Amino acid sequence: MLRMLSRRGEPSRDERRIIVTLAAAGIGAVLPVTLITPRGAGVVIAFLSLAVLAVPLYALQEFRRNVIRRANADERERRRRDEAYRLSYRVIEYGMPLTALVLIFSDELGRIPGWQWSTLWLVVFGYVIFLPYMIFAWREPEAAPD
Amino acid sequence: MARTASPEPTLFNRLAVLRAERGLTRQALADAVGVNYQTIGYLERGEYNPSLGLAFLLAEFFGVPIEAVFSREPLGPMSTELYRRSA
């Protein structure tokens, strides 16, 4: 994890993909976990979920800071970043309405207790914010040896 | 009218040869032209086509015409071209 703190020590493609998978699965798992949790235990579960999620999200955030959003990113990196933003927008553009329609027609939305809507929004925001970085980290080729 | 995807044309280059001739590391070349060292690797492997500006910058750095570094056709050994021209 600490190797991501320096640009030269960035993670391999496999490591990046593991981080992305953990982060994506972790964000997605927050909702079903809280839905099956009794209201009283919700806060505990939320903290536990965040604690488990913190590791891949921290790794993704470090990758974002050191590689994706570097101030002196060169033209190749800027192009890859733009591609990731574009692809992310496409996924959200089609994925979110589709998911909403599925939930509406399966009547799942009505089963979500009012106090858990905030969790749903948390999951949505988690994906919206981290999706471009997940896509970038997933697609970036293996680093070239020096 | 249907829109068709326009894939980037394949671009061949002699960056690895020129860099090796001068005994430069990727990092040294990257620093000289202001890109990340990995971008030099992607360029050498043909996994990234540079902008026109970067292509000119690289050619200027090596002191050769841009067509000696980049080409739409596969590039042969430089020595072959050199002897062909001098013959």
Residue A142 at interface with chain B, using a CB cutoff of 8 Å: no
The predicted pLDDT at position A7 comes to 46
Q: Coil, helix or strand for B2?
A: coil
Within the 70-129 window of chain A, which residues sit less than 8 Å (CB to CB) from chain B? 73-77
Residue of A nearest to B34 (CA): A74
Residue of B nearest to A77 (CA): B39
pLDDT at B50 over 70: yes
- Cβ of B39 and A74 within 8 Å? yes
Residue of A nearest to B45 (CA): A144
CA A14 to chain CA mean position, Å = 17
Q: In the beta sheet, which residues pair with residue B13?
A: B70
Residue A144 at interface with chain B, using a CB cutoff of 8 Å: yes
- Cβ of A146 and B54 within 8 Å? no
Q: Which of A19-23, A95-99, A131-135, B17-21 has the highest mean pLDDT?
A: B17-21
Q: What contacts B35, CB < 8 A, 6 or more positions away?
A: A74, A75, A76, B54
Judge contact between A44 and A33, C-beta under 8 A: no
Residue B39 at interface with chain A, using a CB cutoff of 8 Å: yes
Residue scoring higher pLDDT (B58 or A114): B58
- Cβ of A75 and B50 within 8 Å? yes
B75: confidence class by pLDDT, cuts 50, 70, 90? confident
H or E element that contains B60: helix B52-62
Percentage of the residues of chain A whose pLDDT score is greater than 70: 77
Q: Which of A57-66, A113-122, B50-59 has the lowest mean pLDDT?
A: A113-122
Within the 40-79 window of chain B, which residues sit less than 8 Å (CB to CB) from chain A? 40-42, 44-45, 47-48, 50-51, 54
Residue type, A130: F
pLDDT at A46 over 50: yes
pLDDT at B40 over 70: yes
A75: closest CA among B70, B45, B52? B52
The predicted pLDDT at position A5 comes to 38
- Cβ of B45 and A7 within 8 Å? no
The residue-averaged pLDDT of A75-87 equals 90
Taking chain A, what is the end-to-end CA distance rounded to the nearest angstrom? 21
The predicted pLDDT at position B44 comes to 92
